[in-house]
Structure 1
Amino acid sequence: MKRNVHFRLAIALGLSMIVSVISGCGGTSSAADGEGKVKVVTSFYPLYYFSKEIGGEDASVTNLIPAGVEPHDWTPKSKDLTALTKARLFVYNGAGLEGWVEDFLHGAGSGSDVIRVEASKGVDLIQGNPEEDEEDHDHGHEKGGLDVDPHTWVSPRSAMMMATNIKDAYVKADPGHAAGYESRYADLTARLKQLDAKLVAGLSGFSRKDIVVSHQAFGYLCRDYGLNQIAILGLSPEAEPRAQDLIEIAKFVKKNKIPYIFFEELVSERLANTLASEAGVKTLVLNPMEGLTPEQEKAGDDYFTLSERNLENLRKALG
């Protein structure tokens, strides 16, 4: 898989010269659309949503990873590089999630004036990856990324810091519309605080604290709201668990009378179903909010509706 990632990056970088010719010498003027809106490129869904909410009428936001695609196994194409060369802001998560970022930004060329925004900067990151075997370092992330849990956005407490980083970048890039960015940021932060309060109230009072998940994506949610995740897979959903790991988790589920095993829509539910069948329990969805399915997109779902649904399913599993 890593060979494939590098091959696709090589193609993108090889086309960067063509892209620079197409984009011309517009410089700063190319970073705004015809209506004067700041052009923003985001790496995946949560950052797209936060950027849209804060940018409002003053920004034109493009998301790189389409609906229904799992971000751990995605790499940019030449059209994505073209979008980057025309943008004023590039918002990415960091913390090892997007192993392709440095090559991607290099492909934009030294003449690019894009402002890079590492949204997770300032978040108290969860270090280490005890659930994943060393041999899985070639799956999903560049080497090193697996040493930190990158799934910061799943907790609204981390999301508030990420929103602050995005807002600050907007103000820097477009100070003339700072009041609008500040106002919309305040509204988004208020909604995140409300969500935080709902999670605190909704997840307290349960004697059960353990949840079994298919993908180790809920560390920040568990840390902030007093839960403990037992993951079938590690930080990358592309990794394969060892048979011994599955046996141990099945034993844990039976011994502790865990009623549900959680899976997510954007990756195969095969392992969760296999383990649930072995342990004699049911499955439920716990969404890491890495992206919307096409159906969720059509239904108008967003970060908050997915979070509310997660809360409902967590309460069902803990009760």
Structure 2
Amino acid sequence: MIKQRIIVIIIFIGLLLNTIGCSPIETEESANNNEIIAYASVYPIYDFAKKIGGERINVKMATPPGAEPHGWEPSGKAIKEIEQSQVFLYNGLDLDPWAERIGRGLKDKVTIIAVGEEEALAPMIIKEGIGSYDPHIWLDPIIVIEMAKIIKDVFSEVDKENQNYYEENFNIFQSKLYELDKEYNAALSRVKNKNFIVSHGAFGYLAKRYGLNQITILGLTPQGEPSPAKLVELTTLIKKYNINTVFFEHLTSPKAANVLAKETGINVEVLHPIGGLTQEEMDNGEDYISIMRKNLTHLVRALD
């Protein structure tokens, strides 16, 4: 009799422990499973999404720090991680064609937005050549406000309970962008020279916004060497416009800029396109706003 009671007690305890073990106690791991994950194809989209999403959205960047975004392709592992997200934001305009390919297969699973191709930005697209677009829309702070609105609307739709949170973050970011725009207007309206030379023609939107003339060595191609005929043309323009600096990018070879500088005796300086940041820059807290301000300093020094 005692033995039977002991068996009953053991069974009861076992059932109790099993019930407790199966109860929906939310651990840190299970709580994390409820978070909203958003992937951004390139750094500018990532930075804007981080500023809008704040602590509510886990924003991740597909292109690794230090990688030049033109021509970068994701690994199979990276694609699988993107497939597990709730939101996928990419630039479009042929900057990240891999993202468009991935997006076609995820339409029914993930909220996908080609931020640079949204209708609100279409009138501001600068066309170069036949059927080719300059994808570097983020280098105009006023266009960035429109990009941020698009991202804010996406997050508000995916996470309706926190719409006010995303709206507040957007308003803060918008104020900083308007301030940046004022700084650019004030500084560049006073410079003597309105012409600048870059190896990679990423600054067309910036030039258009602030009344400057961008002259490129390689056009929209970030890598390569100028032909002898191109060097002659650029040398003539340097003399005509009294240009003293040629700009290059930190993530690409300065060879094209150095060739021109050697031929003409002008200075070489970095102008950051912000398409990608190094890990060191990110660790040091650099972001879109801080680098745009450094770009302004470099431009004013070259154009004064």
Q: Give the TM-score range, shorter chain.
A: 0.7 to 0.9
**153, 170, 173: which one aligns with 1:188:** 173
Task: Give the secondary-structure state (helix, strand or coil) at the position aligned to 1:291.
Answer: coil
Q: CA deviation at 1:53?
A: 0.6
Residue in 2 that maps onto 1:128: 128
Residue in 1 that maps onto 2:76: 78
**114, 119, 136: which one aligns with 1:118:** 114
For the residues of structure 1 that align with 2:171 and 2:233, how far apart are their CA atoms? 46
For the residues of structure 1 that align with 2:31 and 2:79, how far apart are their CA atoms? 17
Matched, 1:252 2:248: no
Matched, 1:101 2:86: no
Q: Counterparts of 1:146-157 in structure 2 under 5 Å?
A: 147-157=132-142
Residues 154, 288 of structure 1: 8 Å contact kept: yes
Q: CA deviation at 1:101?
A: 2.4
For the residues of structure 2 that align with 1:202 and 1:318, how far apart are their CA atoms? 10
Task: Give the secondary-structure state (helix, strand or coil) at the position aligned to 1:149.
Answer: coil
Task: Give the secondary-structure state (helix, strand or coil) at the position aligned to 1:300.
Answer: coil
Encode CA deviations 1:272-302: one digit per residue, 9 max, x unaligned: 0110111111111111111112321222111
Q: CA deviation at 1:34?
A: 1.4
For the residues of structure 2 that align with 1:285 and 1:262, how far apart are their CA atoms? 5
Counterpart of 1:125, as a letter, is: I
Encode CA deviations 1:204-238: one digit per residue, 9 max, x unaligned: 12231000001000010000000010000111213
For the residues of structure 2 that align with 1:236 and 1:50, how far apart are their CA atoms? 25
Deviates more, 1:70-79 or 1:210-219: 70-79
Encode CA deviations 1:154-173: one digit per residue, 9 max, x unaligned: 11011111001100100111
Residue in 2 that maps onto 1:27: none
Residue in 2 that maps onto 1:29: none
Residues 263, 285 of structure 1: 8 Å contact kept: yes
Counterpart of 1:119, as a letter, is: V
Residues 198, 248 of structure 2: 8 Å contact kept: yes
Normalising to structure 2: TM-score of the pair? Answer: 0.85
Matched pairs, number: 271
Residues 76, 104 of structure 1: 8 Å contact kept: no
Structure 2: runs of 5 or more not aligned? 1-29
For the residues of structure 2 that align with 1:105 and 1:67, how far apart are their CA atoms? 22
Matched, 1:39 2:6: no
Residues 151, 220 of structure 1: 8 Å contact kept: yes
The root-mean-square deviation of aligned C-alpha atoms, in Å, is: 1.7
Residues 40, 89 of structure 2: 8 Å contact kept: yes
Residue in 1 that maps onto 2:205: 220
Residue in 1 that maps onto 2:291: 306
Structure 1 residues 239 and 115: alpha-carbon distance in aligned structure 2, compared to 1, 3 A threshold: farther
Runs of 4+ in 1 over 6 A off after TM superposition: none
Q: CA deviation at 1:46?
A: 0.6
Task: Give the secondary-structure state (helix, strand or coil) at the position aligned to 1:96.
Answer: coil
Q: Which structure has the bigger radius of gyration?
A: 2
Residue in 1 that maps onto 2:8: none
Residues 223, 253 of structure 2: 8 Å contact kept: no
Counterpart of 1:237, as a letter, is: P
Q: CA deviation at 1:257?
A: 1.9
Structure 1: runs of 5 or more not aligned? 1-31, 135-143
Q: CA deviation at 1:239?
A: 4.9
Structure 1 residues 177 and 212: alpha-carbon distance in aligned structure 2, compared to 1, 3 A threshold: same
